[in-house]
Amino acid sequence: MRKDKILLGHGSGGRLMHNLIKDLLLKKLDNLVLKELSDSAVINYKERLCFTTDSYVVNPLKFPGGDIGKLSVCGSINDLVMLGAKPEFLSLALIIEEGFEYRALENIIDSISLTARKNGVNFVTGDIKVVEKGACDKIFINTSGIGRIIKNKKLSVKNIAPQDKIIITGNIAQHGFAVLTKRKELDLGFNIKSDCAALTGLIIPVLKKTNAIKFMRDPTRGGIATTLNEIAEAARLGIIIEEKAIPISQKVRAASELLGIDPLYVANEGSALLVVSSKVAKKVVALLRRHPLGRNAKIIGEVVREPKGQVILNTVLGTQRIVDMLTNEPLPRIC
Amino acid sequence: MRKDKILLGHGSGGRLMHNLIKDLLLKKLDNLVLKELSDSAVINYKERLCFTTDSYVVNPLKFPGGDIGKLSVCGSINDLVMLGAKPEFLSLALIIEEGFEYRALENIIDSISLTARKNGVNFVTGDIKVVEKGACDKIFINTSGIGRIIKNKKLSVKNIAPQDKIIITGNIAQHGFAVLTKRKELDLGFNIKSDCAALTGLIIPVLKKTNAIKFMRDPTRGGIATTLNEIAEAARLGIIIEEKAIPISQKVRAASELLGIDPLYVANEGSALLVVSSKVAKKVVALLRRHPLGRNAKIIGEVVREPKGQVILNTVLGTQRIVDMLTNEPLPRIC
């Protein structure tokens, strides 16, 4: 890949973005916290804090199950929760295109406000920029967040070991398909609803009840395929996934067949991948299922010693295939 | 003003933006920390932290004295410093237009890296989004920051009292004119250099040496006129400024006359307004002048009991005029 232009794939969460981060950002902005390449940073003050940032450029601004406002709160909340932090404070930075409807902005702020209140986070600082018509597409939102780490035990890929189980907390690929079908105005004869949700209520209680969770990440851009690859690479272990175990709604299955898009690569915004020790995996699933967001939680695979850094899928047909990271962007601006 | 479209003025830092914040954001996202309407939030953990966010959409990306990279580090550093915090951790969120030159991105990251290292801050988390060609203008950068409050004494408009002195730490309006003349490719026969700089080294030592500083703010969008109005309104006191005392370079003076733009409304990116008790104001100026960024520091006015909430300028002609907030945006995307 020639390095002269930024491609859409550089923002896909997949291989190209990884290279951009490694080749440019890590090289130039190197420090120990950043090197962890997590979606959030853990900062050692007297209390351990977690710090995260995310920009939201989703198109369209509204989709079944959410809008850019809800997404921009849930997304940053989830990045904190994935590091075992209770989200507390958020910032809100708006970049708005001149001529954007005031009423539409109001609806977005309503959605932000509602989602924040529901999930016990406060917006404590913010910024507004307005750019000329044509200089941005309607509205972009950045939220950064601070949370308080609730456990001393550090969630880290270093804790992952062979035989650990992989849990997904909900049906996959709902968000990406919701945005895609809305954007393209595809008439599938049914609506797919995004899973867009804040995971605080699902995850934090389970984290408090057990020490079994070793690592968590929410499979957003690039889908579970990309996130599992990140985990396998970072842990220098393999991951085997059972296709038949992966929870997937009838609608997403139908849409993925109709459109020829592999749901393993499609974004989620309200599900998490958990790596847990095998002994208590079933107990963790049972705990997760008590919560409405976790009622489809399932063990979908396990960690193996070899092949290091790779993800293998046992298909429903009984074959095996290597599942690589997303390399090209099939669907930009899904978050 | 009809509330149906977002106007460029809604991002100007002036009256329209204030209304948008008051009418929409404060109403919907209300909490005690946000209500302070500072550029950063103070958070009471065991240690007091300061949290800030800012997006940078400057056009052009490079200007005499800086670029969007340097600006995006200095701007968020300064927001923290203004609350008496030592900046420590930053996040970096990039929104990049498809097709943007990789080399240009590299130059921006170099500039970010250099500025961060010079000023002792670390980037600990980040995000990249790439949008289709035409969906944003080249690159937008958000940096959020966390700093540690270095004093127990709270900097607050509540501390401001009549007779307090107003200090500006450097020549005004350099940044806005630098960006304007570069963007319009105006040939003034000379270059105006932005004052773009991180104020950590100038301000933090002075803050440690004296308790005289009651309040600080950096007069970015909307210039010193807008910031002084914010201070006067929040403190419910008046401010009188002496035009002849305001430090202004020959070049900025010439440009403002040629272009008919009042420098009081033009953005600064490396100067701060300080409100200090009158007894020690001269001492504070002397301390500031020891630092290269403070060598033009001057007392430019004082706080008075009446007229409450207003800023009065004693002109060089011996007349008085009311200086209002910026209401219209003469120059969008200066930061």
Digits of tens for pLDDT over chain B (335 positions)? 456 888 877 876 677 777 887 888 777 777 776 676 666 677 777 788 999 999 999 999 999 999 999 999 999 999 999 999 999 999 999 999 998 998 899 899 999 999 999 999 998 898 989 899 999 999 999 999 999 998 766 788 999 999 999 999 999 999 999 999 998 877 788 889 999 999 999 999 999 999 899 999 999 988 999 999 999 999 999 999 999 999 999 999 999 999 999 999 999 999 999 999 999 999 999 999 999 999 999 999 999 999 999 999 999 999 999 999 887 666 778 89
Residue A335 is assigned to a structural domain of this protein: no
Q: Do B89 and A41 touch (CB under 8 A)?
A: yes
Q: Which of A160-174, A286-300, A306-320, B35-49 has the lowest mean pLDDT?
A: B35-49
Residue B78 is assigned to a structural domain of this protein: yes
Residue A274 is assigned to a structural domain of this protein: yes
**Are β-strands B48-56 and B139-149 bridged in parallel, bridged antiparallel, or unpaired?**
antiparallel
What residues have CB less than 8 Å from B110, skipping those under 6 apart?
A: A28, B69
Which pLDDT score is estimated for B327? 75
Q: What are the phi and psi torsion angles at B138 (to 5°)?
A: 70, -80
Q: Do A123 and B148 touch (CB under 8 A)?
A: no
Element housing A139 (H / E):
strand A139-149
Q: Are B143 and B163 in the same domain?
A: no
Q: How far apart are CA A129 and CA B10, in angstroms?
A: 8
Q: Do A38 and B125 touch (CB under 8 A)?
A: yes
Enter the pTM of the model: 0.93
Which pLDDT score is estimated for A305? 98
Residue B2 is assigned to a structural domain of this protein: no
Q: How far apart are CA A208 and CA A150, in angstroms?
A: 8
Q: How far apart are CA A19 and CA B125, in angstroms?
A: 16
Q: What are the phi and psi torsion angles at B314 (to 5°)?
A: -85, 110
Q: Do A52 and B91 touch (CB under 8 A)?
A: yes
Q: What share of chain A is helix, strand, coil (3-state, %, to 5)?
A: 35, 25, 40
The more confident residue out of B37 and A266 is A266
Q: Are B38 and B117 in the same domain?
A: yes
The more confident residue out of A172 and B103 is A172
Q: Are B53 and B188 in the same domain?
A: no
Q: How far off is chain B from A14, nearest CA to CA, in Å?
A: 11
Q: How far apart are CA A280 and CA A274, in angstroms?
A: 12
Q: Which of A142-151, A274-283, A309-318, B67-76 has the lowest mean pLDDT?
A: A142-151
Q: Are B168 and B263 in the same domain?
A: yes
Query: Which of A1, A2, A3, A6 is the best residue to mutate to test the B interface, defined by the most B CB atoms within 10 Å of its own CB?
Result: A6
Q: Give the mean pLDDT of A158-184.
A: 95
Q: Closest Cα to residue A128, out of A101, A159, A95?
A: A95
- State the CB neighbour count (10 A cutoff) for residue A86: 19
Q: Give the mean pLDDT of A10-35.
A: 75
Which pLDDT score is estimated for B3? 65
**Left, alpha or beta for A236 (phi > 0: left; psi -120 to 50: alpha)?**
left
Q: How far off is chain A from B9, nearest CA to CA, in Å?
A: 8
Q: Closest Cα to residue A334, out of B131, B137, B91?
A: B131
Q: Do B11 and A129 touch (CB under 8 A)?
A: yes
Q: Which of A70-74, A217-221, B323-327 has the lowest mean pLDDT?
A: B323-327
Residue B3 is assigned to a structural domain of this protein: no
Q: Are B215 and B234 in the same domain?
A: yes
Q: Are B79 and B138 in the same domain?
A: yes
Cα angle: A146, vertex A151, A153; to 5 degrees: 120
Residue A232 is assigned to a structural domain of this protein: yes
CA-atom Rg of chain A in angstroms: 19
The more confident residue out of A209 and B21 is A209
Per the CB < 8 A criterion, the answer to whether B173 and B226 are in contact is no
Element housing B27 (H / E):
helix B27-28
Cβ-Cβ contacts under 8 Å, A26 against chain B: none
DSSP string, B281-328: HHHHHHHHHTSGGGTT-EEEEEEESSSTT-EEEE-TTS-EEE-PPP-S
Q: Give the mean pLDDT of A193-202.
A: 98
Q: How far apart are CA B238 and CA B232, in angstroms?
A: 5
For B54, the domain range is: 8-149
Q: What is the number of alpha carbons within 13 Å of residue A200 lying toward its C-beta?
A: 22
Per the CB < 8 A criterion, the answer to whether A37 and B126 are in contact is no
Q: Are A166 and A302 in the same domain?
A: yes
CA dihedral B138, B144, B147, B149 (to 10 degrees): 120
Q: Closest Cα to residue A119, out of A201, A38, A180?
A: A201
- State the CB neighbour count (10 A cutoff) for residue A321: 12
Which pLDDT score is estimated for A37? 67
Residue A288 is assigned to a structural domain of this protein: yes
Q: Do A142 and B146 touch (CB under 8 A)?
A: no
Which of B11, B47, B53 minimises the CB distance to A125? B53
CA-atom Rg of chain B in angstroms: 19
| Whether pLDDT at A1 is above 60 | no
- State the CB neighbour count (10 A cutoff) for residue A23: 13
Which pLDDT score is estimated for B174? 98
Which of A24, A52, A124 minimises the CB distance to B125? A52
pLDDT digits (tens, 9 = 90+) for A40-64: 777 777 788 999 999 999 999 999 9
Q: How far off is chain B from A56, nearest CA to CA, in Å?
A: 8
Q: Are A225 and A298 in the same domain?
A: yes
Per the CB < 8 A criterion, the answer to whether B254 and B326 are in contact is no
Q: Do B29 and A100 touch (CB under 8 A)?
A: no
Q: Which of A149, A182, A212 is the last residue of a domain?
A: A149
The structure tokens 């997904």 sit at A168
DSSP string, B81-96: HTTTEEEEEEEEEEEE
Q: Are A104 and A231 in the same domain?
A: no
Which pLDDT score is estimated for B22? 80
> How many CB pairs below 8 Å do chains A and B form together?
282
Q: How far apart are CA B171 and CA A312, in angstroms?
A: 63
β-pair partners for B276: B165, B213
The more confident residue out of A119 and B41 is A119
**Are β-strands B122-131 and B85-97 bridged in parallel, bridged antiparallel, or unpaired?**
parallel
β-pair partners for A89: A122, A146
Which CATH number belongs to the domain containing residue B175 in this structure?
3.90.650.10
What residues have CB less than 8 Å from B273, skipping those under 6 apart?
A: B166, B167, B168, B169, B216, B217, B218, B219, B224, B227, B228, B231
Q: Which of A149, A174, A198 is the last residue of a domain?
A: A149
Q: What are the phi and psi torsion angles at B299 (to 5°)?
A: -80, 125
Cis (ω within 30 of 0) for the bond into A87? no
**Left, alpha or beta for A22 (phi > 0: left; psi -120 to 50: alpha)?**
alpha
Q: Are B122 and B138 in the same domain?
A: yes
Average pLDDT over all residues of chain A = 91
pLDDT digits (tens, 9 = 90+) for B250-272: 999 999 999 999 999 999 999 99
Provide ipTM, 2 decimals.
0.93
Q: How far off is chain B from A54, nearest CA to CA, in Å?
A: 5
Per the CB < 8 A criterion, the answer to whether A81 and A203 are in contact is yes
Which pLDDT score is estimated for A18? 74
Q: Are B129 and B227 in the same domain?
A: no
Which pLDDT score is estimated for A152? 61
Cβ-Cβ contacts under 8 Å, A9 against chain B: 130
Q: Which of A117, A149, A181 is the last residue of a domain?
A: A149
The amino acid present at B211, given as its one-letter code, is N
Residue B333 is assigned to a structural domain of this protein: no
Which CATH number belongs to the domain containing residue B15 in this structure?
3.30.1330.10
Q: Closest Cα to residue B55, out of B141, B114, B124?
A: B141
Instruction: Kindly state the tokens that stand for A78.
Output: 């989830």
Q: Do A34 and B5 touch (CB under 8 A)?
A: no
| Domains: count for chain B | 2
Q: Do B142 and A146 touch (CB under 8 A)?
A: no
| Whether pLDDT at A89 is above 70 | yes
Which of B11, B12, B33 minimises the CB distance to A124? B33
Q: Are B83 and B232 in the same domain?
A: no
